[in-house]
Amino acid sequence: MSSYLRITPFTLEVSLVRPRLAVLVALGALACGSPGPDKVAPQSPQQTLTQFMSAVKANDISRMGTLWGSDRGPAASWMKSDELKERLTVIQKYLDHAGYRVVEGPLPVAGHDNTMSFRVELQRANGCAVVFPVDLVRAKGGGWVVNDVHLASLSTPGGACRQ
């Protein structure tokens, strides 16, 4: 009768392994879980523009890559990483800002049912303010991505203000 009251080395070993196993399973589930709320594809053009401009301000090139692209989807999913980084670095330099505001939009683009346009006023650190168009396109997989920031309509970063 005393045998069931004994603690054997096997029982002690199992009692030490179970909590470790539970912690490993929990960590594994977290690592394989869905992306965080800030990584979910924006469902409206306004959300996309807001998140893209925040990524520009934070110099977050990888986040910009998930918000910029074409109707095929975010460029991060189909463009070569070197080319993507190069393009987004240029865009980030041109759109770097102290603040911005949407002047107009979203506006439909004639002949392009899946495209919306905004006019954005960019306030640069040197005091310049410039208004430029930004086009967003609905991706085939759902959500919206920034498609064209019309860099030609912006002055050179760090240059004098346009009159």
Say which CATH number the domain at 137 has. Answer: 3.10.450.50
Please give the tally of structural domains in the chain.
2
In this structure, the answer to whether residues 85 and 146 fall within a common structural domain is yes
Q: What is the pLDDT of residues 34-52, one digit of tens each?
A: 344 345 567 899 999 999 9
pLDDT reported for residue 38: 43
pLDDT band at 32; cut points 50, 70, 90: very low
Of 16-25, 123-132, 136-145, the one with minimum mean pLDDT is: 16-25
Side-chain-side CA neighbours of residue 20 (13 Å): 5
Residue predicted with more confidence, 104 or 34: 104
Q: Which residue range(s) make up the domain with 22?
A: 2-31
- Give the span between the Cα atoms of 12 and 31, in whole angstroms: 30
pLDDT reported for residue 16: 55
Residue predicted with more confidence, 156 or 144: 144
Q: Is the pLDDT of residue 106 over 70?
A: yes
- Give the span between the Cα atoms of 65 and 87, in whole angstroms: 10
What lies within 8 Å, CB to CB, of 88 at 6+ separation is: 61, 64, 65, 68, 75
